[in-house]
Structures are given as C-alpha cells and as structure tokens.
Amino acid sequence: MVAVKNINSGSNTIQEHRLLNLRSAVLNWFVVNCRVFPWRQATDPYHIFIAEILLRQTQATRVTKPYLELVARYPNVQSLSKANTAELRSWFKPLGLITRANYLVQAAQILVEQYGGKIPNDLKTLSILPGIGIYGARAILCLGFGESCPMVDEGSGRVLRRVLDMASKGPAYSDSRLLKIAESIVPKQSPKEFNLGLIDIAAACCHPREPSCVKCPLVDVCSHRQYEGEIIQQPVERQ
C-alpha cells in the first residue's frame, strides 16, 4: 500500500481512498492513452530543460521540431551557452518562439558560470533561471531527476480542482493548498507517469468549458462530472 494520508485541504478533509482511486485511475489510463513527444522519452535533465523553456505557454506540437534540432545542434549546456543569440532569434522568429532564444542562451550561460555546466537538482535554483519558472523547475525535477514532485499547471490543476471539489485560488502552479494535495498523491515509483497523465487527461477530456466526462477515466471519482451535456458548475470560493 502506498502512503497517502487524509489531507486537510483547508476547507475539508479529502479521504485517503479517494486519493488512491484517483491515482490508480490516472496511472492506468496513461499506460494506453499517453501522448508521445520526443522529450517525454528523454532522461537527460538538459533535454528537459530545453523542452520546458520551449513549452512555456506554447502548444507541444509547435515545439517538437525546434526541440529536436536544438538538442542535435547543441548537445550540452556548454555548447548552448556559446550559441549565437541573434542567429537563434532569427531561426525562432517564424515559429513565434523568438524570446526563447534569449532565455536558452542566458540560462545556459548562468549554468556554466555558476553550476559547472550541470543542471542543478534544486527547485529554487531552477525556478529563477531565465524562462523556467516554478512549473518548469518542478518538471525538470520530476522528468529529469525522477523526483516525486508535483507538476501542477493550469490543465492538471483544473482536473484536480474539479475532481476534489476545490475552489480556484489564483494560478494553479502557486496554489499552496492544491500543491499540498498534489504532493501527497504523486507516487514515488512513477511520478512522471502520474504527472503527465493528469496533463494528458486535461488535454483529452477535462477542457475548460466543455469537459468530455463521458470519456474521462476519472468520472467515477470526480465531484464535477457531467453527463449528457449538462453545464458544469465551477467550484465557488468557500468562506
């Protein structure tokens, strides 16, 4: 049995069995429904670092080609730190990724100057690198270092909030109550699969306006499931 305790979310206690059911439903669904992107097969933290800078507020399908070209052209932090920023900017311009050129080179230069060209295994250090932020830092820790660290973005946060009937309190990545619960659910053995599973369920089923609950693997544990086109009610702030 994996250790998940009852969690006091601030307004109610979420029962352990419910969290365990949620966890196993995500993992089982992910095995057959996961989306495939090249960085998801990567194990080198440097590759995850590149992917996270490219992916920030951008659809994954748009960054597949530049990701593959970047890791081939700049195989490590040192080579990226010496890249010609102007050249990268003109390469990225037609892709709408122009600001990422600056972030990539600046972050690589900091890594070379301050961390010996290695990707640090530290949330705070990663989160202040140009173009990374707190979500990207968590993604690098989980996908690059295998840590059981929650990757809560707007998509996976929406799924958790709906399933667990939690009120929306600002951006999901900085909602401390949501993060506390997510931390308790992420399994130590397969954190990557769980985090990516939640993200993929958000993309496949739990859309912001019209969630497709009939095909969602979490329908049996979700507080906000809807059937036959009923309008879903967003959680309201509890006093």
The residue (of 53 and 221) whose beta carbon lies closer to ligand SF4 is: 221
* Closest CB 159 distance from ligand SF4, rounded Å: 5
Listed as own residue / partner, the contacts of 124-128 with beta carbons closer than 8 Å and 24 or more positions apart are none
What sign has the CA pseudo-torsion 77, 193, 56, 167? negative
Could you say which of 27, 62, 219, 235 contacts ligand SF4 (CB under 6 A)? Answer: 219
Binding-site residue total for ligand SF4 (CB under 6 A)? 14
* Closest CB 139 distance from ligand SF4, rounded Å: 21
* Closest CB 142 distance from ligand SF4, rounded Å: 21
Give the residues across from 7 on adjacent strands. 14
Binding segment for ligand SF4 (CB under 6 A), chosen from 22-30, 119-127, 179-187, 206-214, is 206-214
Q: Map residues 78-97 to x or -, x wherever contact with ligand SF4 holds by CB under 6 A.
A: --------------------
Q: Scan residues 150-179 and list those touching ligand SF4 (CB under 6 A).
A: 159, 162-163
Q: Which residue has the tokens 């996908």?
A: 143
Listed as own residue / partner, the contacts of 181-184 with beta carbons closer than 8 Å and 24 or more positions apart are 181/7, 181/9, 181/14, 181/19, 182/150, 182/152, 182/156, 183/149, 183/150, 184/4, 184/5, 184/7, 184/19
Which amino acid, 74?
Y
Q: How far is CA 152 from the centre of its chain?
A: 5
Q: Map residues 105-124 to x or -, x wherever contact with ligand SF4 holds by CB under 6 A.
A: --------------------
Q: Which residues bind ligand SF4 (CB under 6 A)?
A: 159, 162-163, 205-206, 211-213, 216, 218-219, 222, 224-225
